[in-house]
Amino acid sequence: MSMIRVEKLSKSFGSLQVLKEVDLTVEKGERIVIIGGSGCGKSVFLRCMDLLETPDEGTVFIGDNELTSPKADLNRIRRKVGMVYQGFHLFSNMNVLDNITLAPIKLLGLPRAEAEKKAETLLEMVGLLSKKYMMPDVLSGGQKQRIAIVRCLAMEPDIMLFDEPTSALDPTMVGEVLATLRLLAKQGMTMVIVTHEMAFAREIATRILYFDEQGIYEEGTPQEIFDAPKKKKTRDFIHKMKYFFWQIDDRNFDLMQLQGNIRSFAGKYGMDEKRTNRLQLCTEELIYEMLEHGQPDVGVDMQIQISFDERDGCAVIGLRSRGAQYNPFEADTEDEIHLGVTILKNTAKRLDYWFDGVNNELEIEL
């Protein structure tokens, strides 16, 4: 049974289109985790699913009810959807028990005794029964977020939406909130979670959605997305790829400036001194090898790209050089003029070359 169905959903803010014709179906018991870079529309999409943001186009169904219909009874339909935000949004003038029982009493018409009994059961489930008479201000961030989750559960929702529920927490408190979500997963709760916690996403999700280019750029199981993503942007995000670019238009380019910038790039992402020195050395040798043998006398056109994978520490130097076909890795390294090639071959883990008819393309993995 489909718990949520989103069809052709689009959302813009002024001239900025954030979502474009996004489709999604969430089945009962699924745990959908949405990941992606900042500003890619993850939270906007989640808020559109509960109509906290009004889509420009498209439809949203919660079960058999169309939430986006002008005739929809929003309050009735939303009772089946619980949403937990980055902030806790507890009522500061009420104790924990009153925060939890307010909605069941006012909206569901439960007697106070029944609402309190339910609240106590839920508080015990998340290990906070002893806090039931405390005011929110004396609780830790992790405790507040667990209370916020319990407050949603007290309404007996069919679906729970989580918008980066740990992003406002101190790292020491993240674990207790994630443990609560794991408990809900074991109980079969249907959940859609926006998070930056990649290890948690891998553990809990039945399906991962990677957001980019105004919607779902790639989706799959945790194994498919984290171990074998098919698309470049997904791979770059998962592998935490960092890039350095440099253009060379003249044989008399400023080598010292280039080397200084490479060192700054390496330092920013925690490369050690040995790796940094190898990166500088190999980049320099590759540039001069191509300037000497693969470039015309005039009209130098060369681009350098260094990519660094924060996950496994792999660094790759890429060079594109416009000119006659020349593969330096096949050069006669016994000739002193190709000393740079010898250095590259002795340093690199991988050397690749190809020619597209106009440009020489080279990659060196360190």
pLDDT of residue 90: 93
pLDDT of residue 364: 86
CATH number at residue 330: 3.30.565.10
- 34 CB-near residues (< 8 Å, 6+ apart): 42, 45, 46, 192, 193, 194, 195, 208, 209, 211
**What's the rounded mean pLDDT across residues 199-209?**
92
Is the pLDDT confidence value at 105 over 90?
Answer: yes
Is the pLDDT confidence value at 4 over 90?
Answer: yes
**How far apart, in whole angstroms, are the C-alpha atoms of residue 115 and residue 143?**
20
**What's the rounded mean pLDDT across residues 159-166?**
92
The closest alpha carbon to 204, from 227, 180, 173, 182, belongs to: 182
pLDDT of residue 339: 64
Q: Which amino acid is at 209?
A: L
Do residue 169 and residue 290 come from a single domain?
A: no
Answering whether pTM is above 0.85, one says no
Do residue 230 and residue 131 come from a single domain?
A: yes
Token pair listed for 127: 């290990």
Domain carrying residue 291: 240-365
**How far apart, in whole angstroms, are the C-alpha atoms of residue 22 and residue 58?**
8
CATH number at residue 130: 3.40.50.300
Is the pLDDT confidence value at 1 over 80?
Answer: no
Q: Which of 238, 261, 283 is the last residue of a domain?
A: 238
Do residue 228 and residue 262 come from a single domain?
A: no
Domain count, the chain: 2
Is the pLDDT confidence value at 349 over 90?
Answer: no
Do residue 59 and residue 177 come from a single domain?
A: yes
Q: Which of 208, 238, 268 is the last residue of a domain?
A: 238
